Structure formats: C-alpha cells, structure tokens
Amino acid sequence: MTVEIGKQAPDFTLEAQTGEKVTLSELKGKYVVLYFYPKDMTPGCTTEACDFRDQHEQFADLNAVILGVSPDPVDRHQKFVEKYGLPFLLLADTDHQVAEDYGVWKLKKNFGKEYMGIERSTFIIDKEGNIAKEWRKVQVKGHVEEALTYIRENQ
C-alpha cells in the first residue's frame, strides 16, 4: 500500500497508553496529526513529543487530534506520557504494520549497523480521512510549528 496526498489514509486500530483502542476512521470530522517516531525516551523523540505537548492547545483549537505512533509497547508509552505530561495518545504499533502501511518502516544505519526502524514522519489527515500533507525524514527543530501552520492555513 502506498500513501499519497489526496488519497484515503490507510485505516488502522491500535492500542493507546490508556488501554483504549483507537481507530483512525472514527476520527473523521477532525484533522489528525499522525506522527511516527522511533522510540520513547530518546532525545529527539522526547523533544518532538514535548513540542507537540507545548502546542497541543493550538492544535485542539483547530479541531486537530495529535496521535504519536511507535513500535514501543503500551506500558512504555504510559511511562513516557507520565514523565513528560503528554496530553495526547501514543499508539503501540508493536508489529510495525501501520508503519509499513504508511511507508515509514525503513532500513536505517547507525554507527555502521543496519537495522529496520521508523523513519520520523508526520502526516496531516483531513476531516474526510484523506492524506493532506506529509513530512518524511523529519528534522525535529521547528517541525511542530510547521505542522500547526499547515493546518491553520489550509482549514
């Protein structure tokens, strides 16, 4: 499956740190900021999550829901949320199926080692459930503001 701007976003149901199941298609009528990140509690992922936390009210004012997705299990997500006071749901994609559906499960290299993992990416899904915007290989600095500005300007 490929993700394309203007096409229906791949639907999924994943468990959040609260234990509730979240189904993307049930969020129609709202914007969804779906961001994929590699791992809870790591420096870049913590910065990104805290940036989303700090702008959460501005997204909510635009009728936008923030969902973070990583392969971490629910209990690790819960610790991450508690430690940093994150006011949005983190979804456990432990088998990385959703990451594969969105084309963000990639071969990565770090210190000469190759492994499969999440390529930091964000998708804005419009109120009809279509992909409106995507950012791949996201650089954390300034990214959340960029996503917020996109929604503000394209309502």
Residues annotated as catalytic (active site), given as ranges:
45
Helix (H) or strand (E) holding 92: strand 89-92
Compute the distance between CA of residue 116 and CA of residue 122 in angstroms, rounded to an integer. 18
Residues 6+ apart with CB under 8 A from 106: 116, 117, 118, 119
- What is the 8-class DSSP label of residue 27? G
